[in-house]
Amino acid sequence: MPSVAMSPGKGSSRRSAVDLDALLADAHQAVVARIESDRRPPPAPPKAPIHGGWLAACLGAWGLVLVLFLTPPAVLRGSPPLPYTPPSGLEEASLRWGLWLAHGRVESHRAEAARLPTRLGETGFDDPALELVVIGGTRYRLVGRLGPLQLVLDDREDSERFLGTALEELQAAP
């Protein structure tokens, strides 16, 4: 604030009135500035910088977790299941049972899809000992091979007669 010095004498009242007006104007500007500064929101604190190294490390870790989840290593998956080996002396009964089951799956697929499957795995029944041979698009033959033993089930053959007592033989086995 400016200091006002009033000198006594003639015309001092005029000088003091001018100085008083300037003093009031300065005070008014100071009050207005204070009110305006109080109305303004306080300045926002500065944002912390984002460190790219941490972001890259987190993204890399999540990527590794995703890869391990989608394609687990062989240690986590375990060994693949061994192929089925029927008990000794029951190879033919086991092969007949497998061919009977595959026949049912092929017939179900034919009824649902109105066509024959191109391979046995299409029916959800995938056995390396069994093969589906499509003949002319409307007929098929199931071929089962187990070592030197080979059995064939044709689609026109009665599957119940083909099965015979094979299921009972397998159930009676220890």
Helix, strand or coil, per DSSP, at residue 152: strand
Return averaged pLDDT per consecutive 10 residues of the chain, 174 residues in all.
Answer: 51 65 87 80 78 85 87 72 78 92 93 91 86 91 92 92 90 83
Those residues with Cβ within 8 angstroms of residue 135's Cβ, 6 or more apart along the chain or in another chain: 141
The total number of structural domains in the chain stands at 1
Q: What is the largest CA-CA distance in the chain?
A: 143
Q: Is residue 132 part of a domain?
A: yes
Residue 13 domain flag: no
Q: What is the pLDDT of residue 7?
A: 52
Q: Does residue 82 sit within a domain?
A: no
- Burial (CB < 10 A; 0-12, 13-18, 19+), residue 23, is middle
Q: What pLDDT score does 84 carry?
A: 72
Q: What's the token pair of residue 155? A: 């689609």
Q: Is residue 117 part of a domain?
A: yes
132 φ/ψ sector (left φ>0, alpha ψ -120 to 50, else beta):
beta
Q: Residue 160 has what pLDDT?
A: 92
- Residue 41 in any domain: the answer is no
Quote the pLDDT of residue 173. 81
pLDDT digits (tens, 9 = 90+) for 50-88: 777 888 899 999 999 888 888 777 767 677 777 777 778
pLDDT for the residue numbered 14: 57
Q: Is residue 124 part of a domain?
A: yes
Domain span at residue 97? Answer: 91-172
CA distance 71 to 35: 66
- Whether residue 134 is contained in a domain is answered as yes
Give the containing element (helix H, strand E) for 136: none
> Within a domain: residue 167?
yes
**Residue-level pLDDT at 8:** 52
